Amino acid sequence: MAGKASGSARVRLRPRDRDGERSCSWGDCPYLPEDLDVLCPNCRFNFFTMEGNAQCGRPGVCEHGAESRSHVTNLREWLDTNA
C-alpha cells in the first residue's frame, strides 16, 4: 500500500452540487492516496460503507467500480493500523 492518508478516514457520500469544493470529510480529499479511494468513479457509491445510489443498481459487480472495490481491503488495513 502506498503512503498514508492524513486526518479522518471516514468517507461519507454527498451528492454533487454547485456549492464549490468540499472538504476531505466528503470523500473528495486531494491528499487521499489512490489505493485508499473506495468511491466509484462513475457514481461515487461508497464501497466501504456500501452507501450511496449506485447508478447501475448492482454495485457489487459493476465494472466501473472494480478498482475501487479492490481498495476496500487497503482502507480496512490502514484503519486497523492507524486507528
Domain that holds residue 53: 24-82
With residues binned 3-state (H G I as helix, E B as strand, rest as coil), the percentages for the chain, rounded to 5, are 30, 5, 65
The one-letter amino acid at 30: P
Domains: count for the chain: 1
Whether the pLDDT of residue 76 is over 90: the answer is yes
Q: What are phi and psi of 73, to 5 degrees?
A: -60, -40
pLDDT per position as a tens digit, 14-30: 444 445 555 555 556 77
Q: What is the pTM of this model?
A: 0.64
Let me know if residue 61 belongs to a domain.
yes
Rg, C-alpha atoms of the chain: 12
